[in-house]
């Protein structure tokens, strides 16, 4: 199983980090050891002083696929989740400055707290019309609708599958909206998909 993450897929977030608007999707990866499930606590890593949350819609691939045309991409997923792309912003800034990949800043152990997957059929809405939000200590810090993505889920799947085979169980983090920010020990993060609380994560 691979975890594929999209960077820079919401305009307002690109602006808040002073990044360039991409002409093509930007990807990076997290290993399977990054997964943190069942509302387990997140332990603040001792190698960073500036860990940020990034709340994202996650899509699970349910069919083997290669070179998938965009119009058939819908046949390759049926479930979504909310995930947190935990990022050591201080390390990432050094990586960017030195033109290095975002490996340590993004792929460290348990850097991907994740809700259970929920079927789109059960939600009853189009994947490009889903509301999600993140609360920190009860206060809303991120909120968006997936219609604000620069590259749609189907476009991402089509683009990615030109280069690598997508396998059953692969997960795609589809990018974060604006409002990313730091966490500290003692904080609680809670994510909502539509009106439903789907993920809670205590920072320890
Ligand atoms: Mg992200």
Residue recorded with tokens 């290095």: 100
Gap from CA of 28 to ligand 1 centroid (Å)? 9
Residue recorded with tokens 């939000």: 133
Gap from CA of 27 to ligand 1 centroid (Å)? 10
For 38, residues 6+ apart whose C-beta sits below 8 A from its C-beta are none
Average pLDDT over residues 166-186: 97
Distance CA 44, CA 137 (A): 16
Gap from CA of 6 to ligand 1 centroid (Å)? 6
CA torsion 109-98-184-52 (nearest 10°) is -80
Gap from CA of 33 to ligand 1 centroid (Å)? 17
Taking only the tens place, the pLDDT of each residue in 64-121 is 999 999 999 999 999 999 999 999 999 999 999 999 999 999 999 999 999 999 999 9
Tell me the CA distances in angstroms from 19 to 12, 37, 69, one per residue in order.
10, 30, 29
Gap from CA of 54 to ligand 1 centroid (Å)? 5
Taking only the tens place, the pLDDT of each residue in 43-74 is 999 999 999 999 999 999 999 999 999 999 99
CB 14 within 8 A of CB 184: no
Structure tokens at 74: 């819908």
Nearest to 5 by CA among 169, 180, 174: 174
């Amino acid at each position: 199983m691979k975890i594929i993450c999209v960077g820079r897929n919401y305009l307002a977030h690109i602006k808040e980090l002073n990044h360039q608007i991409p002409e093509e999707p930007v990807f990076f990866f997290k290993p399977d050891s990054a997964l943190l499930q069942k509302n387990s606590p997140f332990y603040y890593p001792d190698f960073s002083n500036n860990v940020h949350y990034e709340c994202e819609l996650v899509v699970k691939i349910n069919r083997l696929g290669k070179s998938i045309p965009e119009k058939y991409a819908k046949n390759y997923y049926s479930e979504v989740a909310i995930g947190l792309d935990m990022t050591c912003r201080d390390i990432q800034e050094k990586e960017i400055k030195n033109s290095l990949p975002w490996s340590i800043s993004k792929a460290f152990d348990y850097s991907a707290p994740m809700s259970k997957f929920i079927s789109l059929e059960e939600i009853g809405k189009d994947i490009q019309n889903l509301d999600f939000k993140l609360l920190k200590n009860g206060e809303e810090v991120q909120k968006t609708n997936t219609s604000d993505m620069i590259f749609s889920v189907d476009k991402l799947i089509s683009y990615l599958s030109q280069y690598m085979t997508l396998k059953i169980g692969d997960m795609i983090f589809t990018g974060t909206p604006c409002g990313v920010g730091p966490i500290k020990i003692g904080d609680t993060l809670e994510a909502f998909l539509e009106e439903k609380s789907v993920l809670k994560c205590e920072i320890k």
